[in-house]
Each structure stands twice: as structure tokens, then as C-alpha cells.
Structure 1
């Protein structure tokens, strides 16, 4: 048997069609799921022992949400006055136009449903906030 003929016959038996089919299926899956990944709310979830945020020159904008669904802002004449969602978003948008690098933090009551926090984060993104942080208390040492 001639070695050259044997090599040709072995190489001719390798079928790459299944590999191409799998590659194309994976490509289609990635093309379909990639746009879905960018529609979510971007947030870095804090861990239990997270490092404190380094201080900045500008005071961060803190948006509060209590268990009754009232919104609060740490700016304005009376920071303890409850706001509607629309007035809160209007004030946040005004601050972001003046100071686009202002850090925005959410301070939510632990009894507030997670869905309300997600809705608020989506509304803040529509108001021009690029990054949103979540405020937490450090864990109690026992």
C-alpha cells in the first residue's frame, strides 16, 4: 500500500459538516440573546463585606424609597419631604444635566419589593443616570 494514498483516504474521511452546523447554531443563539442582555438595568450588586465608596468632591445624589412607596432626595429645601416619582425624576434629570458625573445611590427600605427598586433604576436610567449604586449597612458583628 502506498503511504500517500493512505493519507489521502484518511483526510477524505474527516467530515467537518457537523462542526460547521454546530458553529452556525451557536452563532444564531448568540445573535438572538445578545440584544436581550443589553436591555436590563445595569447595577453592581453589593456584597456583604463591600468596601466603602471612595469620597468624591461632589456630594452623591441619594434617592430614597420607603416601604409605603414614597420617594426622597437628599437635595432641595426639605430632604425629608416625600416626592412623587415624576418630580423625583425631574429633579434627578436636572442635576444630571448640570453635573453629569454625579454619583447616584439608591437607599431603599429592606421591606420594599425588589421589583420596585428595579423599576426605579430603569426610570433613573431614562433620566440620564449612567451608573446607579445601592446603599447598604455593613453586617453586624456577633
Structure 2
């Protein structure tokens, strides 16, 4: 008798608890995936006076690690690969900005080689990244 009563009445509401469990799980996975993405190569930047930020959208970052390794947007490259990729970017957007982040302990010669490459490719939108000087 009780079974007949249920079959006739039906369900008048939906249980959304499993749906909320899935939504929360997806939210947590998304948050972890976004925060775990590579934010760049960590280098010890030299200190400078207060200067405005040069980072703009579509800015390419060239990082020179303390061991001398070159990175273009967190991807390791050689100077020849750097030249090839920068030529490709320049073909798409002639005025794309570039920032150079050099570790404070690298030889100045490595930075000069990158600056010479920028001059050779006629990249004029360029800046050097430093840390704010703490007084």
C-alpha cells in the first residue's frame, strides 16, 4: 500500500546536493590549476629608484638567470632561438614591448648581448626590470 502511494505522488523537488558537490570540486580544481601555472623565472633583480611599471599586455619577458640561461616568457632558449622568436613576434606586431630581467649576479656581457640583439632587430619598446629601492 505504501509503495502505491509513492508511485502515484511522484517527486516534487530535485536533490541538488550532488550537483553542488560537483560544482565545488570543479571550483577547487580550477583554483589549484590557475595558481599552479608558471608565473615566470625567479631571479634576484637589482635595486633601482621608484620607476613606473613597463609591463603591458602582450609584453615579452626575456629573463637572464644567475647561471646565464636565457628564458623567453619562462621557456629556456639559446640566443639564436631568442632571435628567431623575436623576429616572428616583430613580424606580427612591429611595436611589441620587451622587458629584460637580469639577475643581479650575472655578467654584464650577457645583458649586453641581449641588448645588442634588440638593437639589431630594431626593437624600440624595451625596458629593464629592477626592484624598488628600499630606503
TM-score in terms of structure 2 length: 0.58
State the Cα deviation string for residues 92-121 of structure 1 (Å, max 9, x = none).
111112111111110011101112211210
Segments of structure 1 that go 5 or more residues without pairing to the other structure are: 1-46
SS for the counterpart of 1:121 is helix
**1:67 matched to 2:66:** yes
Is 1:121 the counterpart of 2:115 in the alignment? yes
Classify the secondary structure of the residue corresponding to 2:61.
strand
Q: How many corresponding residue pairs?
A: 90
Does residue 87 in structure 1 map to residue 81 in structure 2? yes
C-alpha displacement of 1:49 = 2.2
Offset at residue 83 of structure 1 (A): 1.0
Q: Which structure shows the higher strand fraction?
A: 2
Distance 2:110 2:129 in 1: 15
3-state SS of 2:48 partner: coil
Normalised to the residue count of structure 1, the TM-score between the two structures is 0.55
Matches within 5 A, 1:47-66: 48-53=48-53, 56=56, 58-66=57-65
